[in-house]
Amino acid sequence: DVFATGGIGGVHRGGEASMDVSADLFELAHTPVAVVCSGPKVILDLVRTREVLETMGVTLVGYRTDDMPAFWARHSGLPVDMTAESPAEIAAVIRARAALGVGGAVLVCNPVDASLAIAIDEIEGWIESCIGEAPPGAAATPWLLAEIARRSGGRSLAANKRLIIDNAGLAGEIAASLAG
């Protein structure tokens, strides 16, 4: 019922022309699960990804934030649907959706720890300077992530490791609240 990941997929940059949309979004629309993540991967088209999530009825709950995080960045400038201050509050949202028969996922957005966060403007600069060099198709995402790791001097990797650990911990706390 609850699982954790680093960041979700979404609409890729240029997706309005290429139709390159991650299957994550369709799965979230149809599976009643709580997914704890640090938002969509920042290499995606965040505005279009947020719009598709809204269109598909996926509820975004910000954990102690009203701004959808963007993976290594704590803030995307895009809103979540609601804010929760505790795992128990998130569990209450999950229970309420189930009681009402609302399908689809609850996306719990847990920002990366502030000490490891990278400003979205800095990340955007790296992406804009190298996206034209990225290989096409499925190879683009791992290439971009590796290139950003190089350009960030490893900061993105450190943030990634921490957010996965923190998201798994929060998922465990939510699961315990649901079981209790």
Domain locations along the chain = 2-179
CATH superfamily, region 2-179: Indigoidine synthase domain (3.40.1790.10)
In this predicted structure, what is the pLDDT of residue 6? 96
Model confidence over 82-101: pLDDT tens digits? Answer: 999 999 999 999 999 999 99
Confidence (pTM): 0.93
Q: Going residue by residue through the chain (180 aa), what tens digit of pLDDT does each one get?
A: 999 999 998 887 766 767 777 888 999 999 999 999 999 999 898 999 999 999 999 999 999 999 999 999 999 999 999 999 999 999 999 999 999 999 899 999 999 999 999 999 999 999 999 988 988 877 888 999 999 999 999 999 999 999 999 999 999 999 999 998
Token readout for 145 is: 């992530």
Token readout for 175 is: 């699961």
